[in-house]
């Protein structure tokens, strides 16, 4: 894999998930770790997308880092995000993080921003028109999530980040936003992203 050869997959869970894909792309050992309940479909669909991106046979059983980030010592670095029955998977040659959110109205979003973001980001957000504010709120939110996930952190550490407005990522890291329909995907990694970066794998209606 080239230094900046990122790969991104995005899919709707209902379109990704089926018995044939599960059997082809996921090992029995991995499936034993699948959760029960409402998270199961998203969990399996994300790992099918990962296996399809890697295109190296059934995905093996994965380990978990201290903060719960899945990994495998023989696989490239990857990160998974899901929201509202949509899943994104980012693969890279170094530590990566991604976050997907649906661009949507959010009650009290400025209060959330004041609690979660650095003051200069909130001041800039408040200077925008109402139409722009909600879009940029999600842009900043997903950037924070992607940076934290790239580091192996958690959302509870969001308020500790001091991200600059012009890059929305720390020095020595790179961030790229990708929009698919009404979904916004933030991708963070150790190398620059291509200007035309977009999902290599897209599975949706």
DSSP string, 66-87: TTS-EE-TTS-EEEEEEETTEE
**CA–CA–CA angle 25, 96, 181 (5° rounding):** 70
Q: Exposed, middle or buried: residue 19 (CB in 10 Å: 0-12, 13-18, 19+)? A: exposed
pLDDT band at 155 (very low <50, low <70, confident <90, very high): confident
pLDDT at 202 over 60: yes
Please write the tens of the pLDDT for every residue from 80-133.
999 999 999 999 989 999 999 999 999 999 999 999 999 999 999 999 998 999
pLDDT at 67 over 80: no
The stretch 164-179 carries a mean pLDDT of 97
Mean pLDDT, residues 25-44: 97
Given this model, what pLDDT does residue 65 score? 86
Residue with tokens 């924070």: 144
Point out the least confidently predicted range of 28-37, 65-74, 84-93.
65-74
64 has a pLDDT exceeding 50: yes
């Amino acid at each position: 894999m080239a230094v900046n050869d990122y790969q991104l997959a995005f899919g709707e869970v209902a379109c990704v998930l089926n018995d044939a894909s599960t059997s082809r792309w996921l090992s029995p050992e991995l499936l034993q770790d699948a959760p029960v309940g409402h998270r199961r479909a998203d969990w399996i669909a994300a790992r099918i997308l990962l296996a399809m991106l890697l295109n190296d046979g059934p995905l093996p059983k994965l380990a978990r880092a201290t903060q719960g980030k899945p990994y495998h010592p023989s696989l490239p670095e990857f990160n998974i995000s899901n929201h509202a029955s949509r899943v994104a998977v980012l693969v890279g040659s170094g530590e990566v993080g991604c976050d997907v959110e649906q661009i949507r109205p959010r009650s009290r979003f400025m209060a959330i921003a004041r609690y979660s973001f650095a003051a200069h980001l909130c001041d800039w957000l408040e200077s925008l028109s109402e139409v722009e504010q909600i879009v940029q709120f999600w842009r900043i939110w997903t950037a924070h999530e992607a940076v934290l996930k790239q580091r192996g952190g958690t959302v509870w550490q969001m308020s500790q980040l001091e991200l600059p407005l012009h890059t929305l990522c720390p020095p020595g890291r790179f961030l790229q936003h990708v929009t698919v329909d009404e979904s916004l995907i933030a991708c963070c990694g150790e190398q620059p992203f291509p200007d035309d970066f977009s999902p290599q794998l897209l599975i949706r209606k």
